[in-house]
């Protein structure tokens, strides 16, 4: 099954910048991680963000993880009072970084820092990184965990909010160079749990989970949506199917059966925001076994389009 | 690459300097080795040099060994614990330890690899160190230390509480203290057996990540600590108070956003710093061991092909090697030569001479005098124009033993700079005040100065600078234009001229004209110098170099080993090398090793034009060469003091029928416990007589080629012709004892480096062993005896039995004879089959007559007996019949 994903990954990523997280196709500006002292109604349920990057086996050059605005400064971050928050960015590779079950948990009750630590850095209020890219690395792709089904090596990025109550807004780019965003051919990124900032007003964000063949139904979970709009599901067989949206500081979930025609394709979960207030929310998706379903920075096989079922009758 | 210049500062020097000092940047070049050159992978982590000189590079895909020319790869197939190597360590006994990505450890004892720890711990090895008890501490990133005793038999995990939840980045041990750098600071533990007791934990500001540690090379109380984003701390261990404090902080704003991944200290005490994203920096550390005067930055932006350094080492020749993240292995080396060009700034078109002075160097040029001085703080040379004699063409400059500096001009005669004076004063020496064109100065044993003036012969000045003598052709001197003068240690003065050749003014006052008396065939002399044994060396125009020893001239130079017979200058250095300059480059000839080397543009020689007497060796043994538009400096430290290292050849493997022989990798025979392996002697069976020997001579520091020659005692009669191939195959070796001798050289004219010998034996097959000859001889003797008995004693009654036995005996005998003769015949006739056929035919022809002869001989007695019986029968038939000796007449022989 994952060979199929790998094949789709490669074909999908050649034509687009898949290493940017959040991706332009998701129409999400920043990922968000709040400090440990921030209350849950900020939208960050666990103060941790985990992103996986896939580097194809054929790629033999150093890679850099570039982080945009990693510090807690004025322009892009969310402050509750004076800046007091530290954020730790860590990169893991090696055995267990992805393959360990704990690494793919969405509740983070267990040890999610599996694998070998390759690099880490803590950022506080450091103006020199305000609206700047900071590069971690270089990393040897071989130091990632080799996953044959992905035909590549996986690097895990863990973002932890340390002390403080502010929200750090940031972006990632897995780059071939330290000084600029240079794409790595065939690379992609995915996550099992996303905490992100929605656009200010009337915008549409997308989450692109990939529905494997074994999936019978998916459950979408969202936190602290503030009932600020609608969450809609689009697939080849679902057109504007409404999913449950959460209120302030609360979870909501809805189960959606999967038809045969929807398998091995990407689902598009659209988050339509109405108000002009900034909002941070958390989303994850599980299958019928309560296993987390990955969603990719770039929709594998492209965004789904609903296929109308036309019945032609002859007199 | 042209050197960079920078205007430093304005100096008003007491004696007539102009206003600008120009600094000469040191030049560096690099060499890159990647997967294309045979490296296991471009992601290189570990890097170390073993006792023999091999460079070992640990990569993400195995181990690579570099000998200066070739890279050999090693993987788990060679018994490594894992292919991914993250750390390495050279033990006190000379073994190598390699750490792996999941905590594995491999030992290399000089011969073979041995897995010490399987690669299953789950945390990568970040450092290995050896304590004062020779036990090993293997630091893992997140699982503490693995303690391994010196015998490698006892292994245990040590994870002290302060290191729990820490990421360990670096470690080393010294004086019973284990220094540990982690992601959150610096920790120091006292080692007691397997136990670690924390003695220091808050040495650095909070949350300072320590990524690299470097014990100071000379001061064992100091340690450099490379951090993330905080530069370098110098820590000092106060043994008296048993505490560690920060001695100094080097902030390095250039890399304030970067991580110091590795550090190394070069022989000059300077620090080399490797970073994660900003390449490598060379910090010129001041004499206080703290201040940084100058930084050279090596990164992609400055033309070096790498960004991220994993490990830095300085090899024994002082070259910097860097294992990089994705860019393979990089060597940075200071160029042999520093070139000081004067054409651009001063319009100089010719540099004639250079002399060392109290404050630096003075250079004679066609545009005046230039001063070169060494800035003690920056360790850089700076140069400037001397305003006195500006634009005057200066022909010579010379410093005598009293530190007077003599300056010879083209139109203004002689100028003198006295010691401690800042003023060049004119010194009129010609009584008639002729404008002298002063070509040369030389001081003799008595302290007199000999001055050569064009067309005016020689002036001899006493210590008071008064003219004592004036030698010209008018008073029967050899020539009025002397190009070379040398006052030797015996009190003689040698003169070189153009046309009139060489002459010597003996201490008794007689003048000896060597060229005129045809003792020396050269007539154009450029330079003269004396070696430390008192021999005189003469550089000639067109005839190479001559040596005068034992009252005889011997030509040393030839086209083959001097490149050019037009030698412009020669000069001995204190190590016994004669340096010579010619129009195509520069070279030296080592009298002791008889090695020579030529430097050309490929070696970084920017200018190779040289003029007469244009070489000067200064008090620091640096060599200065005068060129067309500047001077070239060859710094002494670029060739190791005390001469070159011998080029040792090492046997690296033995192959039988091109397959590695397992005995060659056997590690049970070690030399004196040092484990630095020599291949054990080999005993091979007669069927293993197709042997290939691999060998290598390691030379990391120099360009050029290595040639090998070999000789197999017991097989070869002489050394093979030199080749660059570093293996030799012998086929069809006969049983016997052999000694392989291999020698390497980087100079085909001098095979002076050590010969490596290796003994082996090919055992004979059982049928060629002594014990097997006994039954053979016994069988032959038995056969012959039987034949004799049958023939002589008539044991067998039938004739054919006798003949069969005879034929068998003859055949076997002839076979032995044929076996003996055949190699001789084959050797004589070149092994043509037709001669073998004739040999066999000849032997076969012998068979019948020999058989007949022997049959006759064997049956001779019987025949005689029967003949006698027959005659008796004729004479006394009754008596015979009575005796019953003849049964029938039919039985008589034919």
ipTM at complex level:
0.83
Better pLDDT: A114 or B670: A114
Q: Which residues of A touch B228 (CB under 8 A)?
A: 121
**CA distance linking residue B29 with residue B432, whole number of Å:** 56
Chain B residues whose CB is inside 8 A of the A153 CB are none
| Res. B593: pLDDT tops 80 | no
Kindly state the percentage of chain B with pLDDT values over 70.
87
**What is the DSSP code string of B578-596?**
EEEEETTEEEEEETTT--E
CA distance B582 to B565: 8
Mean pLDDT for A268-276 is 88
pLDDT for B96-132, tens place per residue?
Answer: 999 999 999 999 988 889 999 999 998 899 999 999 9
Cβ neighbours of residue B240 closer than 8 Å, sequence gap 6 or more: none
The whole-number average pLDDT for the span B311-327 is: 90
Question: How would residue B58 be classed by pLDDT, with cut points 50, 70 and 90?
Answer: very high
Average pLDDT (B228-256) is 90
Q: Closest Cα to residue B19, out of B359, B352, B390, B340?
A: B390
Alpha-carbon gap: A40 to the closest alpha carbon of chain B (Å):
27
Report how far apart, in Å, the C-alpha atoms of B722 and of each of B68, B745, B747, B752 are.
19, 9, 10, 13
- Which residue among A120, A122, A140 places its CB closest to the CB of B325? A140
What is the band of B831 on the pLDDT scale with cuts at 50, 70, 90? low
Predicted confidence band of residue B658 (pLDDT cuts 50, 70, 90): confident
Q: What is the pLDDT of chain A when averaged over all its residues?
A: 86
Q: What percent of chain B has pLDDT over 90?
A: 42
Concatenated DSSP letters of B357-377 = ETTEEEEEETTEEEEEEEETT
Judged by DSSP in three states, A280 sits in: strand
Q: Is 70 exceeded by the pLDDT of residue B12?
A: no
Calpha distance A99→A128 (Å, rounded): 36
Per-residue confidence (pLDDT) for residue A7, from 0 to 100: 46
Cβ–Cβ < 8 Å for B843, B817: yes
| pLDDT score, position A12 | 46
pLDDT for the residue A245: 92
Distance of CA B761 to the CA centre of its chain: 30
User: B453-509: per-residue pLDDT in tens?
Assistant: 999 999 999 999 899 999 999 888 999 999 999 999 999 999 999 988 999 999 888
| Cα–Cα distance, A153 to A145 (Å, whole number) | 5
- pLDDT band for position B13 (50/70/90)? very low
Mean predicted confidence (pLDDT) in B174-185: 92
pLDDT of B559 above 80 = no
Q: What is the pLDDT of residues A201-210, one digit of tens each?
A: 777 899 999 9
pLDDT, tens digit, for every residue of B214-233? 999 888 999 999 999 999 99
How high is the pLDDT of residue B880?
52
Q: Which residues touch B457 (CB under 8 Å, ≥6 apart)?
A: B470, B471, B472, B473, B477, B479, B480, B481, B482
**Candidates A86, A135, A138, A175, partner chain B, best to mutate (most B CBs within 10 A):** A138
Residue B852 pLDDT grade (very low, low, confident, very high; cuts 50, 70, 90) = confident
Using a CB–CB cutoff of 8 Å, tell me whether A127 touches chain B. Answer: no
Model confidence band, residue A106 (pLDDT cutoffs 50, 70, 90): confident
Task: Output the pLDDT for position A116.
Answer: 87
Q: What residues contact residue B213 under an 8 Å CB cut-off, 6+ apart?
A: B170, B171, B172, B179, B181, B223, B224, B225, B226, B263
A144 lies within 8 A of chain B by CB: no
How many residues can be counted in chain B? 894
3-class SS of residue B810:
helix
Q: What band does B665 get if pLDDT is binned at 50, 70 and 90?
A: very low
Does B60 contact A138 at a Cβ distance shorter than 8 Å?
A: no
Question: Among B168-177, B268-277, B349-358, B372-381, where is mean pLDDT lowest?
Answer: B372-381
Which residues from A are below 8 Å from B141, CB to CB? 116-117
- Chain B residues whose C-beta is within 8 A of a chain A C-beta are 41-43, 60-61, 84, 101-102, 122-124, 141-142, 167, 183, 207, 228, 257, 276-277, 307-308, 325-326
Does B576 score more than 80 pLDDT?
no
Could you give the maximum distance between any two Cα atoms of chain B, in Å?
150
Supply the Cα-derived Rg of chain A in whole angstroms: 19
pLDDT in tens, B60-92: 999 999 988 889 999 999 999 999 999 999 999
Q: What is the pLDDT of residues A4-34, one digit of tens each?
A: 454 444 444 444 456 788 988 888 889 999 9
Q: What is the pLDDT of residues B436-446, one digit of tens each?
A: 899 999 999 99
In this structure, the number of other CB atoms found within 10 A of the CB of residue B91 comes to 18
A134 reaches B (C-beta below 8 A): yes
Using an 8 Å CB-CB cutoff, list chain A residues near B43: 62, 140, 142
What is the band of B287 on the pLDDT scale with cuts at 50, 70, 90?
low
The pLDDT value recorded for residue B677 is 44
> Could you tell me if A99 lies within 8 Å of chain B, comparing CB atoms?
no
Across the range B281-286, mean pLDDT stands at: 85
Distance between CA atoms of residues B540 and B522, nearest Å: 7
In the prediction, which pLDDT does B808 show? Answer: 82
Q: Which of A143, A153, A180 to probe by mutation at the B interface, max B CB count within 10 Å?
A: A143
Query: What pLDDT, in 10s, does the model give residues B672-718?
Result: 333 334 556 788 888 888 999 988 888 776 556 788 999 999 999 99
DSSP B833: H
A137/B contact by beta carbon, under 8 A: yes
* Chain B residues near residue A178 by CB distance under 8 angstroms: 277, 307
- Gap between the Cα atoms of B844 and B458, Å rounded: 93
3-state secondary structure of A121: strand
CA distance A116 to chain B (A): 6
Residue A117 forms contact with B (CB below 8 Å): yes
Are A60 and B42 inside 8 Å of each other by CB? Answer: yes
* Structure confidence at residue B680 (pLDDT): 64
pLDDT band at B777 (very low <50, low <70, confident <90, very high): confident
Q: Alpha-carbon distance B758 to B5, whole Å?
A: 54
Q: Please give the average per-residue pLDDT across B819-830, as a whole number.
A: 73
Residue A247 forms contact with B (CB below 8 Å): no
Answer yes or no: is pLDDT of B877 > 60. no
- Searching chain A, which residue's CA lies closest to the CA of residue B60? A142
Among the partner-chain residues B141, B207, B307, the one whose CB lies closest to the CB of A116 is B141
> What is d(CA B384, CA B371) in angstroms, rounded to the nearest whole number?
5
Whether B61 sits inside 8 A of A142 (CB atoms) is: yes
| Of A287-291, B139-143, B763-767, B768-772, minimum mean pLDDT range | B768-772
Out of A94-98, A130-134, B165-169, B745-749, least confident range: B745-749
Interacting residues of B637 by C-beta distance below 8 A, sequence separation 6+: B267, B268, B318
Average pLDDT over residues B787-796: 72
d(CA B31, CA B71): 14
Q: Which pLDDT belongs to residue B830?
A: 67
Q: Quick check: B497 and B511 in contact, CB under 8 A?
A: no
Q: What is the pLDDT of residue B8?
A: 30
């Amino acid at each position: 099954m994952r060979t199929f994903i790998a094949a789709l990954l490669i074909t999908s990523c050649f034509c687009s910048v898949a290493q940017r997280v959040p991706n332009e196709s998701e129409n999400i500006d920043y990922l968000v991680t709040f400090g440990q002292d921030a209350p849950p109604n900020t939208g960050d349920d666990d103060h941790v963000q985990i992103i996986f990057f896939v580097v194809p086996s054929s790629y033999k050059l150093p890679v850099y993880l570039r982080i945009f605005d990693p510090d807690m400064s004025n322009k892009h971050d969310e402050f509750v009072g004076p800046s007091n928050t530290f954020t730790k960015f860590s990169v893991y590779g090696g055995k267990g970084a992805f393959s360990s079950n704990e690494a793919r948990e969405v509740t983070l009750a267990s040890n999610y820092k599996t694998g070998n630590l390759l690099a880490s850095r803590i950022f506080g209020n450091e103006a020199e990184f305000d609206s700047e890219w900071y590069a971690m690395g270089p990393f040897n792709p071989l130091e990632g965990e080799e996953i044959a089904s992905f035909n590549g090596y996986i690097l895990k990025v863990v973002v932890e909010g340390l002390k403080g109550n502010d929200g750090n807004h940031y972006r990632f780019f897995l780059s071939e160079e330290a000084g600029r965003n240079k794409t790595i051919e065939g690379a992609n990124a995915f996550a099992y749990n996303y905490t992100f900032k929605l656009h200010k007003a009337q915008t549409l964000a997308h989450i692109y989970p990939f529905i494997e063949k074994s999936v019978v139904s998916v459950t979408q979970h969202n936190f602290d949506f503030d009932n600020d709009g609608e969450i809609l599901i689009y697939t080849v067989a679902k057109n504007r199917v409404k999913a449950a949206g959460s209120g302030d500081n609360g979870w909501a979930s809805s189960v959606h059966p999967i038809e045969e025609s929807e398998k091995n394709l990407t689902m598009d979960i659209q988050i339509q925001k109405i108000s002009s207030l900034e909002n941070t929310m958390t989303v994850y998706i599980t299958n019928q076994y309560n296993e987390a379903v990955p969603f990719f920075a770039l929709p594998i096989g492209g965004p789904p389009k609903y296929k109308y079922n036309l019945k032609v009758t002859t007199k | 690459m042209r050197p960079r210049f920078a205007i430093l500062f304005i100096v008003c020097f007491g004696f007539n300097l102009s206003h600008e000092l120009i600094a000469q940047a040191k030049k560096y070049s690099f060499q890159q080795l990647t997967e294309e050159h045979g490296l296991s992978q471009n992601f290189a982590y570990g890097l170390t040099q073993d006792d023999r000189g091999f460079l070992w590079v640990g990569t993400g895909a195995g181990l690579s060994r570099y000998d200066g020319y070739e890279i050999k790869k090693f993987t788990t197939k060679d018994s490594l614990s894992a292919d991914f190597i993250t750390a390495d360590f050279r033990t006190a006994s000379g073994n190598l330890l390699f750490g792996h990505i999941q905590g594995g450890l491999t030992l290399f004892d000089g011969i073979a690899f041995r897995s010490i720890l399987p690669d299953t711990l789950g945390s990568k090895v970040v450092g290995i160190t050896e304590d004062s008890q020779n036990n090993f501490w293997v630091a893992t990133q997140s699982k503490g230390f693995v303690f391994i005793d010196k015998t490698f038999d006892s292994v245990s995990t040590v994870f002290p509480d302060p290191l729990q939840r820490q990421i360990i980045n670096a470690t080393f041990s010294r004086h019973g203290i284990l220094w540990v750098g982690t992601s959150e600071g610096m920790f120091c533990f006292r080692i007691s057996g397997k136990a670690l007791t924390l003695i220091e934990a808050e040495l650095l500001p909070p949350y300072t990540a320590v990524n690299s540690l470097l014990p100071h090379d000379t001061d064992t109380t100091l340690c450099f600590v490379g951090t993330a984003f905080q530069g370098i701390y110098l820590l000092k261990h106060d043994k008296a108070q048993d505490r560690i404090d920060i001695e100094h902080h080097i902030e390095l704003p250039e890399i304030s956003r970067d991580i110091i991944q590795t550090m190394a200290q070069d022989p000059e005490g300077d620090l080399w710093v490797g970073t994660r994203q900003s390449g490598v920096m060379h910090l010129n550390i001041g004499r206080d061991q703290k201040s940084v005067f100058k930084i050279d930055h090596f990164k992609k932006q400055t033309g070096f092909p790498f960004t991220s350094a994993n490990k830095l080492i300085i090899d024994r020749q002082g070259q910097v090697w860097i294992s990089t993240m994705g860019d393979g292995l990089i060597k940075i080396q200071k160029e042999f030569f520093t070139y000081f060009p004067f054409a651009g700034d001063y319009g100089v078109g010719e540099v004639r001479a250079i002399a060392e002075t109290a404050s630096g160097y003075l250079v004679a040029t066609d545009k005046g005098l230039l001063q070169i001085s060494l800035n003690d703080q920056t360790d850089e040379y700076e140069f400037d124009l001397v305003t006195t004699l500006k634009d005057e063409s200066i022909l010579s400059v010379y410093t005598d033993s009293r530190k007077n500096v003599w300056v010879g001009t083209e139109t203004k005669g002689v100028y003198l700079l006295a010691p401690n004076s800042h003023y060049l004063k004119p010194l009129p020496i010609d009584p008639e005040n002729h404008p002298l064109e002063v070509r040369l100065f030389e001081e003799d044993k008595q302290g007199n100065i000999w001055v050569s003036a064009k067309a005016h012969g020689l002036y001899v000045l006493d210590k008071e600078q008064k003219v004592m003598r004036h030698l010209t052709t008018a008073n029967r001197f050899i020539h009025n234009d002397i190009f070379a003068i040398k006052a030797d240690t015996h009190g003689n003065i040698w003169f070189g001229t153009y046309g009139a050749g060489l002459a010597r003014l003996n201490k008794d006052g007689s003048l000896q004209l060597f060229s005129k008396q045809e003792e020396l065939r050269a007539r154009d002399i450029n330079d003269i110098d004396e070696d430390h044994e008192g021999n005189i060396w003469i550089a000639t125009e067109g005839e190479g170099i001559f040596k005068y020893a034992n009252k005889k001239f011997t030509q040393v130079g030839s086209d083959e080993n001097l490149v050019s017979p037009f030698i412009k200058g020669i000069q001995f250095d204190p190590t016994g090398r004669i340096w010579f300059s010619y129009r195509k480059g520069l070279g030296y000839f080592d009298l002791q090793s008889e090695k020579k080397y030529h430097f050309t543009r490929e070696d970084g020689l920017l200018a190779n034009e040289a003029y007469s007497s244009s070489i000067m060796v200064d008090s620091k043994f640096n060599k200065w060469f005068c060129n067309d538009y500047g001077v070239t400096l060859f710094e002494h430290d670029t060739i190791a003091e005390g001469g070159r290292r011998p080029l040792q050849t090492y046997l690296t493997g033995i192959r039988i029928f091109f397959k590695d022989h397992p005995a060659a990798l056997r590690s049970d025979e070690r030399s004196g416990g040092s484990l630095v392996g020599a291949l054990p002697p080999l005993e091979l069976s007669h069927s293993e007589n197709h042997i290939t020997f691999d060998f290598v001579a390691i030379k990391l520091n120099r360009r050029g080629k290595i040639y090998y020659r070999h000789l197999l005692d017991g097989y070869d009669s002489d050394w093979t012709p030199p080749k660059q191939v570093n293996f030799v195959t012998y086929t069809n070796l006969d049983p016997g004892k052999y000694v392989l001798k291999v020698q390497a050289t980087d100079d085909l004219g001098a095979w002076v480096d050590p010969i490596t010998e290796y003994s082996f034996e090919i055992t004979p097959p059982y049928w060629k062993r002594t014990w097997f000859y006994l039954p053979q001889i016994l069988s032959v003797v038995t056969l012959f005896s039987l034949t004799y008995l049958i023939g002589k004693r008539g044991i067998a009654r039938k004739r054919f039995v006798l003949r069969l036995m005879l034929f068998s005996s003859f055949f076997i005998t002839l076979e032995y004879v044929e076996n003996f003769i055949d190699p001789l015949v084959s050797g004589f006739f070149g092994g043509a089959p037709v001669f073998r056929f004739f040999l066999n035919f000849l032997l076969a022809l012998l068979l019948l007559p020999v058989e007949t002869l022997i049959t006759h001989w064997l049956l001779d007695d019987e025949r005689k007996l029967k003949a006698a019986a027959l005659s008796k029968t004729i004479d006394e038939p009754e008596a015979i019949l009575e005796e019953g000796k003849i049964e029938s007449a039919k039985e008589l022989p034919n």
